Amino acid sequence: MSYLIKSAQYILEGGAVTLKLFFITLAFSLPLGFVCAMAKTSRIRAVRIVMELYTSIVRGTPLLLQIFFVYYGLPILLPGLRLERFSAAALTFVLNYGAYFTEIFRGGIQSIDRGQYEASRVLGMSYVQTMTRIVLPQTIKRVLPPVANEAITLVKDTALVVVLGIGDILRNSKEIVSRDFTIVPFVIAAGVYLLMNYGVVLFFKKLEQRYSVYE
């Protein structure tokens, strides 16, 4: 019994790392996605092209490759730019999820009826006021389901950081498995991931309920 608790404790320590990566990624990639989505619908062509490059490269290549690139590749490309393991992972995740959120938000923004912009305009609202007061709040409601999906995927994707030897849930369980030759730690790890995703699902369900007062 105490063996189980000890294992669980060690795996949960990894859970702290996983959670930290999860929240850092969301905290930065969501705003990044919003800004890039606005840039992607910008009237300036050069801005749109840069954004197109960003999203197609990031979404068209494996996340694992991107992690290797940032951690091992960047220092070769730019000597002196050696990121610490967790920072490298976090930066990669932010850029990667930022690209997916860019596409989701762009679709959301473009689905808002032109009449909303015109109604804002005739009230004398500026572009920034129109976006922050009228367009983005309506966009949030529409993008909640795909954003929830991304958040669930993110919980699972965090396991990729084992390749940098970061002590997350997966790595810590794997350590015990190799040492003691038992699969119990894997079962515990699966349970922890499931529990985290259960939390994510609940959170978004609550949020969707809050937004369901209209339309």
Partner 1 sequence: MSETTDREMIRVEGLCKSYGSLEVLKEVDLSVKKGEIISIIGPSGSGKSTFLRSLIHLEEASAGSILIEGEAVRRADNKSVPDAKIRQHCRKLGMVFQNFNLFPHKTALGNVMEGPVTVLKKSRADAEREARALLDKVGLAGQAMQYPCTLSGGQKQRVAIARALAMEPDIMLFDEPTSALDPELIGEVLAVIKALAEEHMTMLVVTHEMGFAREVSDQVIFMDEGRILEMAPPDKIFTSPDHPRIRTFLDKMI
- Cα–Cα distance measured from residue 57 to residue 101, given in angstroms and rounded to the nearest whole number: 14
- Cα–Cα distance measured from residue 195 to residue 147, given in angstroms and rounded to the nearest whole number: 19
Closest separation in Å from C-beta 144 to partner 1: 13
Instruction: Give the CA distances from residue 172 to residues 1, 82, 166, in Å, rounded to whole numbers and listed in that order.
Output: 19, 25, 9
Nearer to partner 1 by C-beta: 59 or 133?
Answer: 133
From the list 147, 138, 146, 83, the residue with the least C-alpha distance to 115 is 138
Nearer to partner 1 by C-beta: 44 or 78?
Answer: 44
3-class DSSP assignment, residue 47: helix
Nearer to partner 1 by C-beta: 206 or 215?
Answer: 215
Closest separation in Å from C-beta 91 to partner 1: 34
3-class DSSP assignment, residue 193: helix
Nearer to partner 1 by C-beta: 27 or 123?
Answer: 123
What residues line the site for partner 1 (CB under 8 A)?
Answer: 113, 115-116, 118-119, 121-126, 129, 133-134, 137-138, 141, 213-215
Closest separation in Å from C-beta 111 to partner 1: 12
- Cα–Cα distance measured from residue 124 to residue 118, given in angstroms and rounded to the nearest whole number: 10
Instruction: Give the CA distances from residue 167 to residues 156, 163, 176, 177, in Å, rounded to whole numbers and listed in that order.
Output: 15, 10, 12, 14
Q: What is the DSSP letter of 120?
A: H
Nearer to partner 1 by C-beta: 63 or 136?
Answer: 136
Closest separation in Å from C-beta 192 to partner 1: 37
